[in-house]
A and B are shown apart, each in its own frame.
Chain A
């Protein structure tokens, strides 16, 4: 038996790779592997849930796609898409001209203003002057990172960049940040938590910059994946029209996240 050890190991490795290669024709729905409530967050049974997960499932069902939720690291989610590890990004990713040079987007499926929240014991506004002597936390590879570095950093703000939004919020609660910039829905959800209520409050909406902030959130797709794009666009339209969208939103929000 011992002498076959080597052969057995080789064979099992090859078989293992082959077995995982066997299933095809599934669409891998990439999400960020981090808690981003209320859009995506893991639950105690190891599943992912939230508004965006429900929405994605509804769209997949409408488009008759066999979608598999595949968590990947947010800061590598675009490389994961372009190197075929996932087939679409449903991760609250804003449609921006910058990203459109590399990937394609479906039509937008929600849009929220960008806000800044900060410690209660500090008085300031969400302007370059207000943040000039503050430490501002943003998540890496987001429109907020780009925006903060373009508008707030030149005025003197210190920008700290976090791998996940959750960790930025955590550091704000821990007093290691003065402010955090992100989507209003995600931040307002944080402000409603115990830690958020204790430490922080909304400081205001940031000034518009469509070039950076984009017209809303879309599903990220590989360039040239037009068939999938058309299917998804039709499905988003249908889900929005037939009331599924409103139904899902009611579960999580008291407003319509579609935006304008």
Chain B
């Protein structure tokens, strides 16, 4: 995953960023293609679905933000125990990462929603608990599956990040008389987070690209709304092309936001 993540992060800066003749022509060709798509495609449905597309977009973003934040919070302990934890924590954490990274997210999602969900009616305690109104909805399952997946991939990254902090720095902290907890809090964790930050951008883009899967369990995200458009208008391409364009814009915004933050965090030395 890390290879893909780094590949997603940022293309090499071309040596020249001047506006070259061929590039102008390519841009014109692209504009012509877009123009043709607008002129010859059917887009009259767009205003009708505007509000729904907006709420779908919000759902997609909520899924992305929620699962990335929760997943990252889980990933830190997952990575830490794999490096330094006792065996009874290390082995389950490794197994968790291997299993989640070794099976398709779609399958995990369906296992959670249709598999676990179909077991609930046989347990009356769950149906009478305060959680039931949430368990009836689809989004908690989608959020859970996305969170678990993000935690497993990012947990692997955090493991590498924790292991990669130079031992000398930790020894120095101990030599200053810091306790294990203080070393972790003041030195190890911040240094590991710093090392893991560059991969976060790529992993988050991958996570964004995973979110449309939640539409298969009745969560109405951006993809779900577009599916609805496809079914109601019987258009094959236009809605999908619009969707692809929206995701490209979202990816671009994500990459830019992360680049902005990365530039603000000073990196020296290593």
A/B touching: CB–CB < 8 A: yes
Using CB atoms and an 8 Å cutoff, list the residues of chain A in contact with chain B. Answer: 75-76, 78-79, 82-83, 99, 101-103, 135, 140-141, 145-146, 160-163, 167, 170-171, 173-176, 199
Partner of B230, one of A79, A160, A162: A79
In the assembled complex, the Cα of A141 lies from the Cα of B232 at a distance in Å of 7
A selection of 17 A-B contacts at a CB cut-off of 8 Å is: A76-B230, A78-B234, A79-B236, A82-B236, A83-B236, A99-B234, A146-B232, A160-B218, A161-B228, A163-B216, A170-B114, A174-B118, A175-B127, A176-B117, A176-B135, A176-B138, A199-B121
- Let me know if B218 and A173 touch, CB within 8 A: no
* Min C-beta distance of B219 to chain A, whole Å: 10
Q: 7 closest Cβ contacts across the A-B interface?
A: A141-B231, A102-B234, A79-B236, A176-B136, A160-B218, A175-B121, A174-B121
**Main SS of the interface on chain B?**
helix
**B120 lies within 8 A of chain A by Cβ:** yes
Known: A75-B231, A82-B236. A174 touches B117 (CB 8 A): yes
Known: A162-B218, A175-B136. A145 touches B117 (CB 8 A): no
- Let me know if B117 and A171 touch, CB within 8 A: yes
Q: Contacts of A78 on B, CB cut-off 8 Å?
A: 234
In the assembled complex, the Cα of A115 lies from the Cα of B220 at a distance in Å of 25
- Let me know if A173 and B231 touch, CB within 8 A: no
15 further interface pairs, Cβ-Cβ under 8 Å (given A161-B220, A170-B117, A175-B136): A75-B227, A78-B234, A79-B230, A83-B236, A99-B234, A103-B234, A135-B136, A161-B224, A167-B114, A173-B121, A174-B118, A174-B120, A175-B121, A176-B117, A176-B138
Known: A170-B114, A173-B121. A140 touches B231 (CB 8 A): yes
- Let me know if A161 and B236 touch, CB within 8 A: no
* Min C-beta distance of B51 to chain A, whole Å: 14
Interface residues of B in 96-148 (CB under 8 A from A): 114, 117-118, 120-121, 127, 135-138
Known: A163-B216, A174-B120. A101 touches B231 (CB 8 A): no
- Let me know if A175 and B234 touch, CB within 8 A: no
Known: A160-B138, A162-B218. A101 touches B118 (CB 8 A): no
Q: Contacts of B236 on A, CB cut-off 8 Å?
A: 79, 82-83
- Let me know if A170 and B118 touch, CB within 8 A: yes
Most buried by A among B117, B118, B218, B232: B218
In the assembled complex, the Cα of A170 lies from the Cα of B121 at a distance in Å of 11
Closest to A135 in B: B136
B: contact size bracket: 20 to 34
Closest to B215 in A: A163
Q: Contacts of A146 on B, CB cut-off 8 Å?
A: 232
Q: Contacts of A167 on B, CB cut-off 8 Å?
A: 114
In the assembled complex, the Cα of A199 lies from the Cα of B138 at a distance in Å of 20
In the assembled complex, the Cα of A76 lies from the Cα of B234 at a distance in Å of 9
In the assembled complex, the Cα of A171 lies from the Cα of B135 at a distance in Å of 11
Most buried by B among A78, A102, A171: A171
Q: Contacts of A79 on B, CB cut-off 8 Å?
A: 230, 234, 236
Q: Contacts of A135 on B, CB cut-off 8 Å?
A: 136
* Min C-beta distance of A53 to chain B, whole Å: 24
- Let me know if A140 and B121 touch, CB within 8 A: no
Partner of A161, one of B118, B137, B218: B218
* Min C-beta distance of B232 to chain A, whole Å: 8
In the assembled complex, the Cα of A79 lies from the Cα of B210 at a distance in Å of 24
Q: Contacts of A82 on B, CB cut-off 8 Å?
A: 234, 236
Known: A161-B218, A163-B216. A140 touches B227 (CB 8 A): yes
Q: Contacts of B138 on A, CB cut-off 8 Å?
A: 160, 176
In the assembled complex, the Cα of A75 lies from the Cα of B226 at a distance in Å of 12
* Min C-beta distance of A176 to chain B, whole Å: 5
In the assembled complex, the Cα of A167 lies from the Cα of B109 at a distance in Å of 14
Q: Contacts of A170 on B, CB cut-off 8 Å?
A: 114, 117-118
Closest to B219 in A: A160
In the assembled complex, the Cα of A176 lies from the Cα of B117 at a distance in Å of 8
- Let me know if A101 and B227 touch, CB within 8 A: no
* Min C-beta distance of B242 to chain A, whole Å: 15
Could you give, for residues 226-270 of chain B, a 1 whenever the CB lies within 8 Å of some chain A CB and a 0 otherwise? 011011101010000000000000000000000000000000000
* Min C-beta distance of B37 to chain A, whole Å: 17
Q: Contacts of A140 on B, CB cut-off 8 Å?
A: 227-228, 231
Q: Contacts of B234 on A, CB cut-off 8 Å?
A: 78-79, 82, 99, 101-103
* Min C-beta distance of B27 to chain A, whole Å: 30
In the assembled complex, the Cα of A82 lies from the Cα of B230 at a distance in Å of 13
Closest to B132 in A: A175
Q: Contacts of B135 on A, CB cut-off 8 Å?
A: 176
